[in-house]
Amino acid sequence: MAQSDGRATLGTVRRDAKRLAEEITRVVLVAALALVFGGIAYGAEPARALIRSDAETMPVASSGDAADDPTIWVNEFDPAESRIIGNDKKGALNMYRLDGTLVTSLYTGTFWGNSDVRGNLLAVARSGIKLYAVTESSLAQVGSIKTSGEGLCLYQSGSDLYVFTVTRRGLVREFRLNASRTGGTLVRSFGLGSEGEGCAVDDDAQALYISQEDVALWRYGANPSDGTARVAVDTVVPGGRITPDAEGVAVAGNRVIVSSQYGTARSKSYFISYTRDTTEYVQAFRIGDGLTSDDCDGTDGISAYEGYLGPSFPFGLFVCQDNNNSVPGTSGNQDFKLVRWEALP
């Protein structure tokens, strides 16, 4: 009798195990199909506050996927005359006033990547790294560095200035600029593990933030001697809050912000903010239609600044690239949306 009960129990266990294996296979298959067709409901995807855009730049000249990454140059003598610098990947680097009108455009018809600024020096990824002196009306090239990469960010440490580039394959290089800011020397390189692009540096904390598109937002040390040690600020869903791709990164005030591009449904893209001092999660938010400008969809690059920038942006500015430029405001080619800093969580 005991032997018979034992065989029955063993058979039940085997049947239960088979059912469990079949259920796991079914769940994995459904999840895989949902990822392919964009229908998955990510349990970890955060609720988003809706913030209205306040203004927009003029559209870029090129059609399709063209606008990509903005940066904010602060005019120390007249903050209201600060500038937004943004790339047209298919041919130009543009400079805009804070009302969105175009000041000047460096048109080459060739690829322009990401940019960043420290003081009056601008670095841009274009056939290596190009260095420009910035004024409120001009961009004048002063130097270059031979390398590759699309992602780019600057780091100021005392009198030393560094520039990071990030390649599509996830190779990160750090260069120390020379005293004349006309060239630089490679001082560190490391791999992310897969595709990356967006990066930003917290100069005060000596922290480098890089988005590895399908994995995480990482925090590294920004100094050449800091090696490859890293900490995940957040990861992609379902384990984290970022719906791939993780793209642009900005540091301003007490915030670190990353763009969650939402590649399967770009109209649902959003941004996530974390505290700058502890990298704790603060809030996810989406930029929606304003009175004279539309929302930010499928955003790649972002930029932010906390501080007085004239009466239109008295507490600072957040800028996001818009993948689908529509009314209200202009429509057609891509552009950049402007948002008052104090409106953000």
What is the structure's pLDDT at 17?
A: 45
Kindly state the helix (H) or strand (E) to which residue 25 belongs, with its residue range: helix 2-37
Measured between alpha carbons, how far is residue 8 from residues 5, 13, 14, 16, 20 in Å? 5, 9, 10, 12, 18
What is the structure's pLDDT at 261?
A: 97
DSSP, residue by residue, 106-130:
EE-SS----EEEETTEEEEESSSEE
Q: What is the pLDDT of residues 316-331, one digit of tens each?
A: 999 999 999 999 999 9
In the 3-class helix/strand/coil scheme, how is 192-243 assigned residue by residue?
A: CCCCEEEEEEECCCCEEEEEECCCEEEEEECCHHHCCCEEEEEEECCCCCEC
Q: Which residues contact 58 (CB under 8 A, 6 or more apart)?
A: 96, 100, 101, 102, 330, 335
What is the structure's pLDDT at 18?
A: 44
pTM of the model: 0.87
Q: What is the pLDDT of residues 25-44, one digit of tens each?
A: 333 333 333 333 333 344 47
In whole angstroms, give the CA distance from residue 170 to residue 160: 25
For a pLDDT cut of 90, what percent of the chain falls above it?
87
pLDDT-derived band at 241 (thresholds 50, 70, 90) equals very high
pLDDT-derived band at 127 (thresholds 50, 70, 90) equals very high
pLDDT-derived band at 106 (thresholds 50, 70, 90) equals very high
Coil, strand, or helix at residue 250?
A: strand
What is the structure's pLDDT at 4?
A: 35
Residue 219 near residue 208, CB atoms below 8 Å: yes
Q: What is the pLDDT of residues 74-86, one digit of tens each?
A: 999 999 999 999 9
pLDDT-derived band at 142 (thresholds 50, 70, 90) equals very high
Mean pLDDT score of the chain, rounded to an integer? 90
> Helices (H) and strands (E) in the chain — how many of each?
1, 25
For residue 341, pLDDT beyond 60: yes
Residue 222 near residue 207, CB atoms below 8 Å: yes
- Exposed, middle or buried, 232 (CB in 10 Å: 0-12/13-18/19+)? middle
**DSSP tag of 266:** G
What is the structure's pLDDT at 328?
A: 98
For residue 200, pLDDT beyond 70: yes
For residue 134, pLDDT beyond 50: yes
- Antiparallel, parallel or unpaired: β 67-73 and 83-88: antiparallel
Q: What is the pLDDT of residues 53-75, one digit of tens each?
A: 999 999 999 999 999 999 999 99
Phi, psi (rounded to 5 degrees) for 226: -80, -10
- 162-168, Cβ contacts within 8 angstroms, sequence gap of 24 or more: 162/187, 162/222, 162/224, 163/116, 163/123, 163/129, 164/199, 164/201, 164/208, 165/125, 165/129, 166/192, 166/196, 166/197, 166/198, 166/199, 166/210, 167/196, 168/195, 168/197
Mean pLDDT of 169-184: 98
